[in-house]
Amino acid sequence: MFTEIVDALYEAAFIAEKWPAVLGQITNASASKGGALFVFADSAPVRGKAVAWLQDLMDEFLEDESLRLSTAAARMGTVRPSSFVDVDRFMTADEVRDDPIRVRLRARGLGVNACAAIPMPSGEIAMFVFQRGLDEGGYDERQLEVLDRMRPDMARATLAAARLGLVQARGAVDALAKIGLPAAVLASNGRVRVTNSLFDREKALFLPTAFGGVAVANSESNRLFQAALQAVRGGPLPRSIPVRGTPPAVVHVLPLKRSAHDLFDGGDMLVVATAISASALVPSPTILTGLFDLTPAEVNLVTALAKGHSLKAAAAEAGLQFSTVRTYLNRIFRKTGTNQQSQLVALLKSAHPLPR
């Protein structure tokens, strides 16, 4: 089930008409009744897609300023939960009753909402929202875990979709141009098939290799990058790689699935680089933690470390055994390409807002 949904997510990243169907698949997998994706940016209109039977309500939301200022939307925009949460936990009973979005959702038989906010290094915020039936009560831990399991792939798929404006790409060259980020299409053997001009100019970030391949110039990051290329072919994670530099960057490897494979002329992988940019919507260190497949517990740990807490203090603050937190830290090291706590903190601090 999860493999099919993940493949559909990466297809929808480039074939916008697929979003209602994949949102429907996630809705079913999480025992929900409705679902939607919103993309917020500092300097662009709000964009969104929903399951087919809620798209008219999505269109109303996108057109009506008063709906976009609803309590639920504003509260989640402030909280920006890195994992899926029950939205009602952050609202009073009166706010839930009177919120115009919730009034409209109740009229369609929908009740409690689950939401996650996914920050993009390029400045956008992607927000996924799913709804339970009005008579089904709230989300339990298992259902939220189902959503969180798919959240990293939602993040990478939305990175491309946000840059394309949630419209369908019209071929490899056109899609790469519209993305507005350094990007290259690779074959399954790692050979570069096509690049855009932004990628070609990134001489300090990417290096050509033998037989038409590509590597990340930073050796530590390249180790993770090569593992990511294997991950697309069924190997281990990661698929989002931090690259230290000025400015710091993140390199993502997105598998090209189904129709997206044909769209990119038979390419199997899309490599995209994002410099970490300033945005009123994206705080630090959330810029990084939202994209490296970190669990909510790992996000909490790196946030505590970035604030200057020791590992022992972070364990005490979270009410966890030191051995448990040490296990979390080792997993974070693998996902971020670091091997020391000082390196991890330096990486997080490098993501402070940069001038545009």
What the chain holds in terms of domains, given with CATH numbers, is 2-163 (3.30.450.80), 172-275 (3.30.450), 286-349 (1.10.10.10)
Would the pLDDT of 352 be above 90? no
Residue in the structure block whose two tokens are 């689950």 = 114
Looking at residue 223, its pLDDT comes to 85
Q: What is the pLDDT of residues 77-94, one digit of tens each?
A: 888 887 899 999 999 999
Q: Are 50 and 58 in contact (CB under 8 A)?
A: yes
Q: pLDDT tens digits for 173-214?
A: 888 988 889 999 999 889 999 999 999 999 989 999 998 999
| Plot region of 180 (φ>0 → left; ψ -120 to 50 → alpha; else → beta) | left
C-alpha distance from residue 352 to each of 63, 154, 221, 305, 340 (Å):
33, 24, 20, 15, 20
Long-range contacts of 173-178 (CB under 8 A, 24+ apart): 175/14, 175/263, 175/264
pLDDT over threshold 80, residue 235 = no
How would residue 246 be classed by pLDDT, with cut points 50, 70 and 90? low
The pTM score is 0.81
pLDDT digits (tens, 9 = 90+) for 281-320: 666 666 666 667 787 788 889 888 888 899 999 999 989 9
